[in-house]
Amino acid sequence: MRASDVAVMIDHTLLKPEATEDDVKALIDEAARLGTFSVCVSPNQLPVNVPAGLKVATVCGFPSGAHASTVKAAEAADSVSKGADEVDMVVNLKLVKEGNWHAVHGDIKAVKDACGDVLLKVIIESAALTDEEIVKCCECAEAAGAEYVKTSTGFHPAGGASAHAVKLMRETVGDRLGVKASGGIRDAAAAQEMIAAGASRLGLSSSAKVLEGLEK
């Protein structure tokens, strides 16, 4: 794959809690230079100024997902009011592990309702889930109106994205939703593996290194 083709699939990401305003400005400059789809920053960094054509994504209920749905919804609404074009929320893993799918759906729908027309991605922490739980999370996300499912926060000790999880997520949502692979994708080979498995978006903090490994 060509670097330019992959660049437009990347959410260029900086979610370290200690990131400063200068760090975010550097992230935006690099994203513009690389031609990525968006930058993804923490809610406390919003609003940010970006060049025309560069989208702004943020996270919600991050990184644990163990927040009340009302809190997640309020956070999402605040981010939207500050210019976020996309919101990446973390599911409530307690509810997932308990098999309380009605509540999982309700948690996602509360955030989607708060987002309105703003695109919502649902982070399921696939490395911490069984295949059955991955499928059910994807089904809940679709039923609740989300536009994307996403593998990982990159902060969970169970790990990040895997080609197996991406493939299963793509098989579950078909072409109706996007699939974002994130967490531990640090070189061109890993990025291409995720795309081949069905990823339509990549969450990367090592975007420059990944793109350097591809044809210009």
Helix 131-143 vs helix 101-115: crossing angle, to nearest 10: 40
C-beta of residue 204 within 8 angstroms of C-beta of residue 10 = yes
Residue 128 pLDDT exceeds 90: yes
Give the per-residue pLDDT at 93: 98
- Residues comprising the chain, all counted: 216
- Is 150 a catalytic site residue? yes
Residue range 141-165, pLDDT digits in tens: 999 999 999 999 999 999 999 999 9
Give the closest residue to 143 by CA, choosing from 164, 122, 168: 122
Residue 188 pLDDT exceeds 90: yes
Annotated catalytic residue within 11, 88, 109, 136: 88
CA distance 20 to 14: 10
- Is 88 a catalytic site residue? yes
Residue 114 pLDDT exceeds 90: yes
Helix (H, G, I), strand (E, B) or coil at 175: coil
Residue 116 pLDDT exceeds 90: yes
Residue range 76-87, pLDDT digits in tens: 999 999 999 999
- pLDDT (average), residues 159-175: 98
CA distance 186 to 188: 7
Give the per-residue pLDDT at 146: 98
Instruction: Read off the CATH number of the domain in which 165 is found.
Output: 3.20.20.70
Give the per-residue pLDDT at 177: 98
Alpha-carbon dihedral angle through residues 190, 191, 192, 196, given to the nearest 10 degrees: 100
Amino acid at 185: I
Give the per-residue pLDDT at 216: 87
Alpha-carbon dihedral angle through residues 136, 140, 146, 148, given to the nearest 10 degrees: 0
Number of domains observed in the structure of the chain = 1
Given pLDDT bands bounded at 50, 70 and 90, which one contains residue 56?
very high
Give the per-residue pLDDT at 86: 99
- pLDDT (average), residues 33-43: 98
The pTM assigned to this predicted structure is: 0.98
Residue 166 neighbours by CB under 8 Å, 6+ apart: 151, 179, 181, 194, 197, 198, 199
The domain containing residue 122 runs over which residues?
3-212
